[in-house]
Structure 1
Amino acid sequence: MADDSSRKRKVRGRKIRSDRSGKEGRRAKKELARKASKARSQNGDSPLSDPEEVEPEPFVETDAVTSVRNRITGWLRADQPVHLIGPTGCGKTALALSAAAERGRPVVWLNGDEAVDTAALVGDHAGGERYKEDDRFVSGVSKQTEIVRERWVDNPLSVAVREGATLVYNEFSRSDPSAHNVLLSVFEEGVLERPGKRGEDRSIDVHPEFRAIVTSNDVEYAGVHEQQDALLDRFVGVHVDYHDETTEREIVDSHVDLSEADVETIVKTTRTLREDLEVVVGTRAAITAAKGLAVFEDARQNGAADGEFDDDLLTDVFMDVLAPKIAGEGPDDIEALRTQIAESV
């Protein structure tokens, strides 16, 4: 295996050390921080997270990655909400979290899906508090009044705009467009209306440090909704495509303990499949395949050098990784995918 310490690469601004135990220690600490943050949210506490809790680990920085992230943070400094658009598995979420963490402001995470409506964004009534009040103002006369006070709970968008946090709204286009009408006044007028809440605090003035980053897949993917033009016009759109081959190698290598030659073979195979197959083959698929091959590498042919995998092993691993993309289709489609993978390999 090549000596990692000799490579001129950077992960989160530092050279990769050959001792991977240090990297695992950092991952474990961040995972504990994320679990603590999630526990606070589940217990009804604020959805705010500290920047270091959301920063991706590992996060590979090459010139290409840094250039895209600098565009994102630049637009945020210009007080523009950013819409990251691109195919699945190309690293949009990691870029969004890294850019949000770099701001140094609290971060609010939101994942889009069909269940997200306006209330899920801004908040809703969560039951009421009922109590009785005794009035003994007149001697010998007791008057008892029952009072019901509604309790309102703010949801992620309300918390983010009030506290000046960075909202990272992942899979934005999977939510119903009608849920996003409240964002129009946020971006245009600097005010968040909270439908259903009564009283003088029905609206929130948007904090001057509030920023938003949303991510979405290209419109041809299943489950994606086309959002209203009036809202999309408020965003700047940064297109994120698959990384260049060098960057993909860096990313895969940061996740697995394999030789440079092994990683090179995996990435080249991934990029070939990306060209040959109709299903999406993202960088995430390369990482998953590398993790599998790290486990199954004992199945290599005897005497095989680094970077040389048995064709059947490569086919089986990539088939396992990509098969869920055609789940629910017939056996003929499964066999056709295996044939295509085998031919590409």
Structure 2
Amino acid sequence: MADDSSRKRKVRGRKIRSDRKPKEGRRAKKELARTASSVGERNGDSPLADPEAIAPDPFVETDAVTSLRDRITGWLDADQPVHLIGPTGCGKTALALSAAARRGRPVVWLNGDEAVDTAALVGAHAGGERYEEHDRFVSGVDKKTQIVRERWVDNPLSVAVREGATLVYNEFSRSDPAAHNVLLSVFEEGVLERPGKRGEDRSIDVHPEFRAIFTSNDVEYAGVHEQQDALLDRFVGVHVEYYDDETEREIVRTHVDLSEDDVETIVDATRSLREDLDIVVGTRAAITAAKGVSVFDGENGTDDDELLTDVFTDVLSPKIAGEGDGIDDLRSKISETI
């Protein structure tokens, strides 16, 4: 190994030393460009997820579930965005994630709410990055140049479009319809325009493997916006209802360790309450009630009508919070049904 003195002899003279500065400046520019382009992928912050990582577990695959998922994946194969519509707690999100995972492509998740706007979908400027370039080519002269580059951060839609990922947009109808205008050109012209972005890369050509799955509650739910017809006309709408009793029992069984008889009793009670009450009683309520029974199980288990009434009252009471004496009325109706 050469000693330090031999290395120093190879770099001598002012011209050789000063020539390094422009090279360092160019390297700094390249590093800045590389860093800006990979923003959002550092520190595990990329919206891209491995399909195996997002696949719901556990996930029940009865004939009813498999048939519905095959419809979704079939439309995706036909390059059609799919809009899953149905009541809360019926399994739309798990179904969407399962269908997305089946494609084997990276998945981008987005949750809709009132705060979602166009920037939250496509990206925005996130401050600037600054560095200095020193030029000492002329002896005794130090020329200093400050370079500032605006840093653009791509958000979920831009990443999904560019990378050919499957976008799962949960609670799509809870976002302001104005935020979704950018989707029109994505599904019609195959181009995503990024408002606020300047330069030649203001638009992104849609990757041929890009697909989208949207989930929404029915329009009568609070906080749900009616989306523009021009956009919905480009979707395929798949309505998701509550599953049959066999599937609901299997779903509860995979989430909670209870006897077959207890699971059957809870699911039967859930389905009866769904018919008798004016509030939504989804499959999620059955799972939660089963967890309650497993914790508060007395001597008679699900044969104890009072225990079942207490559990279902606790599970469903948040849906009528703030309605005065509504809890007493709810408990009375649940008791009658059970």
- In the TM superposition, what is the alpha-carbon distance from 1:42 to its structure 2 partner? 8.7
Match of 1:213 in 2: 213
CA distance in 2, matches of 1:284, 1:173: 21
| 1:259-338 aligned within 5 A | 259-297=259-297, 299-301=298-300, 308-330=302-324, 332-338=325-331
Whether 1:46 and 2:58 are equivalent positions in the alignment is no
- In the TM superposition, what is the alpha-carbon distance from 1:140 to its structure 2 partner? 5.1
Cα deviation, 1:198-240, whole Å, max 9, x if unaligned, reads 1100111000000000000000001111111111111000000
TM-score (norm 1): 0.84
Match of 2:334 in 1: 341
Match of 2:113 in 1: 113
CA distance in 2, matches of 1:207, 1:242: 35
| 1:1-345 aligned within 5 A | 43=43, 45-136=45-136, 141-297=141-297, 299-301=298-300, 308-330=302-324, 332-345=325-338
Cα deviation, 1:117-140, whole Å, max 9, x if unaligned, reads 111111111110122233445555
Count the aligned residue pairs. Answer: 299
- In the TM superposition, what is the alpha-carbon distance from 1:259 to its structure 2 partner? 1.1
Secondary structure, counterpart of 1:43 in structure 2: helix
CA distance in 1, matches of 2:162, 2:61: 32
Letter in 2 for 1:128: G
Secondary structure, counterpart of 1:132 in structure 2: strand
With over 3 angstroms needed to count, the CA separation of the structure-2 counterparts of 1:240 and 1:42, relative to structure 1, is: farther
With over 3 angstroms needed to count, the CA separation of the structure-2 counterparts of 1:266 and 1:41, relative to structure 1, is: farther
CA distance in 1, matches of 2:50, 2:176: 29
Identity, in percent, stands at: 83
Secondary structure, counterpart of 2:127 in structure 1: strand
Match of 2:5 in 1: none
- In the TM superposition, what is the alpha-carbon distance from 1:44 to its structure 2 partner? 5.8
Secondary structure, counterpart of 2:237 in structure 1: strand
Letter in 2 for 1:53: A
CA distance in 1, matches of 2:209, 2:318: 41
Secondary structure, counterpart of 1:268 in structure 2: helix
User: Quick check: which has more Rg, 1 or 2?
Assistant: 2
Cα deviation, 1:243-281, whole Å, max 9, x if unaligned, reads 011111111111111111111100000000000111100
Letter in 2 for 1:343: E
Which structure 2 residue ranges, 5 or more long, are not aligned? 1-39
CA distance in 1, matches of 2:182, 2:94: 26
Cα deviation, 1:309-335, whole Å, max 9, x if unaligned, reads 2111001000110011112222x1121
CA distance in 1, matches of 2:333, 2:181: 44
CA distance in 1, matches of 2:258, 2:142: 80
Secondary structure, counterpart of 1:218 in structure 2: coil
TM-score (norm 2): 0.85
CA distance in 2, matches of 1:155, 1:272: 44
Secondary structure, counterpart of 2:303 in structure 1: coil
Match of 1:19 in 2: none
CA distance in 2, matches of 1:286, 1:71: 26
CA distance in 2, matches of 1:268, 1:118: 44
Secondary structure, counterpart of 2:49 in structure 1: coil
With over 3 angstroms needed to count, the CA separation of the structure-2 counterparts of 1:344 and 1:42, relative to structure 1, is: farther
Which structure 1 residue ranges, 5 or more long, are not aligned? 1-39
CA distance in 2, matches of 1:344, 1:42: 54
Letter in 1 for 2:87: P
Secondary structure, counterpart of 1:192 in structure 2: strand
CA distance in 2, matches of 1:279, 1:249: 21
- In the TM superposition, what is the alpha-carbon distance from 1:144 to its structure 2 partner? 2.8
CA distance in 2, matches of 1:242, 1:195: 40
- In the TM superposition, what is the alpha-carbon distance from 1:296 to its structure 2 partner? 1.2
